Amino acid sequence: MSETQDQGMTKRDETAKPQSPPPSSPPPRGPSFGRLLGCLGVVLALLLLGSTAFVLGVFFGEPVRQAYQEFRAARAGEQSVAAAEEKDWQYYTCGMHPWVILPEPGLCPICHMDLVPLDPDKFTGEISIDPVVVQNIGVRIEPVVTGPVTRVIRTVGTVAYDETRMQDTIVRVDGQIETLYANYVGMPVKKGDVLADYHSPTVMAAEHELLIASKSRATADGARIIEAAKDKLRIYGVPDADIEAVLETGKVLYTFRVLSPLDGFVHSMGGHQGHWLTVGEHVNEIINLSRVWVLATLYEYQLPFVEVGQPAVMTLSYLPGRTFEGKVIYIYPYLDKKTRQINVRLEFDNPTGLLKPGMYANIKLQSTLAQSRTLVPRAAVMDTGKRQIVFVSLGEGRFEPRDVVVGVETDDGMVEILDGLKPGEMVVTSGQFLLDSEANIREALAKMIRGELASEQEAVVAVAGTSQLSALPDAVADAIVDILDGYFAIQDTLADDSTERISPHAGQVAEAVDVMLGVEIPNDPHFWHMHDEVATVRGEALALADETDLEQARLQFADLSAALAKLIKATGVPPSYPAQVQQLHCPMYRSDEGGSIWLQPKGSVRNPFFGSIMLRCFDERSTLPVTGRQGPPE
């Protein structure tokens, strides 16, 4: 079909459709009943909503308003507290001088470099170290486990005789050793062996009475008389065999035999052949060594772990690989006041006689105190003296120092933890000293930002009491002067960050202590015994004389200072000493133990524990008393 035809058909179709009439406007309509109902419903809904809002406003409006105001105040308070905390904790330090900490940015007062913000994490108890650094410094961790608590005590002992297996062959009647068969010490004997032939006139008379009594055997009282005569000979120590020999032979024996009462060895000789013995003297002493005692020594703190019946293992250094098993049979009820040791008696079988009295032995006593306790390796616990600290690994280079309460240390290197750790936690066993130094730095930083610096405090120097002694012998006064001079020389050397000149001065202190101890205090002969700190002064001085490491020398100097301060407070400073002696306290050195003290002459503060780093650091100062005075020296 062509395009022309299509157009023609379309036109015809349109022509054929009927045309619609034009629209007209609708006729007017009046109000209907349904429309009125709709308007009324809307009005009622609005009234109901308004009433509800009014009721809610009356009863709940005020609480809602107060809650909203409290919420806004809390939000504002949190923001202000957070801002204040952020402001309070923002401190600045110098990269070259980290002990310089200031609350505002600016320049370092020492090198005039720009201060940098101090990491707030350094004031928390948690330590964060890069895992690569952790690997490089060799930090190792192990888990906290549970297991039995076994206490092992190792000590030494001496083999001794079993005193219950010693017996004397005592004569019960005067007489003479006619023949001595056991005639040297150490001779082995068996029970019943003849030790000697013994002649006694008294025994011969009793044997004669026995023979007379035997003739009355046929009488009614004959048997009783014969038995009485035998008993008399038994009382004299005559063996039954010798008594029967008298009756059988009808003759009085010139001697009777002295028999060994037990197997063993001759330990001592009471007489020799031909000796006349009186009642109570012994021919010899026999000891049985089939069982021996071992006397071991223990310290008093080890006594709670030892009890009677406890197994014991003994080894001898000259018999490697050989062990002997015995037990504790007695704990002596007293201890040595000088050594603070107590003896424990052990018992060991000795069937072959290998153990000889007098031998030295190594003793091991083991006891199980509990079957299940929390345990950590001994290397994980850092003991500061007052505190025991364990570093707990939190993962990803984070560590937490934690105080723990330790119990018994086991023989396999484990330590019982009474409080502070739970099984399954990981603790640091290697490299914790580096972590401890980091923790101490953080603690020091936290202390430095609280309050004023110790070096800026104005010292109020008061006299620390009165000396115990009212006067000093001249030799003691001279010795104390030498001690103070040597001590101050050591203090000055450490303040210069050096140990080069310590040895001669430390030797001077030790020698002066020896001289001082050689002089008795008048009217107080036990003064030196009551002041054992003098031994600490001498010991620490001798240790300092051989010390070359600066940090170790400062630790020993701290112990020396504590002991010397206590001693000088008791003796007093000699009146002839030319300067006041003052005691100063450094809160930063060994801060976990409350700080450390040192002595120095009156004058500029020279801290021996930090030297040039914090030469003026101290927070307390007092003057030590002069002997016999109550006030400071003039």
Q: pLDDT tens digits for 462-506? A: 676 788 888 899 999 999 999 999 999 999 999 999 998 899 999
Residue 536: band (very low, low, confident or very high) from pLDDT cuts 50, 70, 90: very high
Distance CA 237, CA 206 (A): 12
Question: Over 60: is that where the pLDDT of 358 sits?
Answer: yes
Considering only the top CATH level, what class is 163-287? mainly beta
DSSP 74-116: HHHHHHHHHHHHHHHT--EE-SS-TT-EESS--B-TTT-PBPE
Predicted pLDDT at 103: 80
User: Which value, in Å, is the radius of gyration of the alpha carbons in the chain?
Assistant: 50
Distance CA 534, CA 556 (A): 15
Predicted pLDDT at 314: 95
Looking at per-residue pLDDT, the higher value among 525 and 586 belongs to 586
pLDDT digits (tens, 9 = 90+) for 263-311: 888 988 888 888 898 888 888 889 999 999 999 999 988 888 899 999 9
Percent of the chain with pLDDT over 90: 31
Looking at per-residue pLDDT, the higher value among 219 and 429 belongs to 429
Dihedrals phi, psi of 596, to nearest 5 degrees: -140, 155
Find the range with the poorest average confidence among 157-171, 210-224, 333-347, 615-629.
210-224
Question: Over 50: is that where the pLDDT of 72 sits?
Answer: no
Question: Helix, strand, coil shares of the chain as percentages rounded to 5?
Answer: 35, 25, 35
Distance CA 115, CA 335 (A): 64
Q: Which residues contact 134 (CB under 8 A, 6 or more apart)?
A: 397, 431
Predicted pLDDT at 71: 44
Give the number of C-alpha atoms closer than 13 A to the C-alpha of residue 270, restricted to the C-beta side: 20
Distance CA 122, CA 126 (A): 8
Taken in order 411, 416, 422, 427, the sign of the CA dihedral is: negative
Q: Can you list the positions of beta strands (E) in 291-449?
A: 291-299, 311-315, 323-331, 341-349, 360-377, 382-383, 388-395, 398-403, 405-409, 414-419, 426-430
Question: Over 70: is that where the pLDDT of 36 sits?
Answer: no
pLDDT digits (tens, 9 = 90+) for 103-155: 888 888 777 788 888 766 565 556 777 777 777 777 888 999 998 888 889 99
Question: Over 60: is that where the pLDDT of 70 sits?
Answer: no
**Rounded average pLDDT over 197-221:** 85
**Could you give the residue range(s) of every CATH 2.40.30.170 domain in the chain?**
124-159+293-429
Q: Which two tokens stand for residue 595?
A: 């700080």
Q: Which residues contact 241 (CB under 8 A, 6 or more apart)?
A: 257
Find the range with the poorest average confidence among 5-9, 392-396, 495-499, 587-591.
5-9
Question: Over 50: is that where the pLDDT of 11 sits?
Answer: no
**Rounded average pLDDT over 29-57:** 52
Q: Which residue has the tokens 């549970």?
A: 146
Predicted pLDDT at 619: 85
Predicted pLDDT at 18: 38
Considering only the top CATH level, what class is 124-159+293-429? mainly beta
**Could you give the residue range(s) of every CATH 2.40.50.100 domain in the chain?**
163-287
Which is nearest to 485 in space by CA: 464, 516, 506, 514? 506
Angle at the Cα of 448 from the Cα atoms of 446 and 452, rounded to 5 degrees = 135
Predicted pLDDT at 595: 92
Question: Over 70: is that where the pLDDT of 39 sits?
Answer: no
- 3-state SS assignment for residue 492: helix
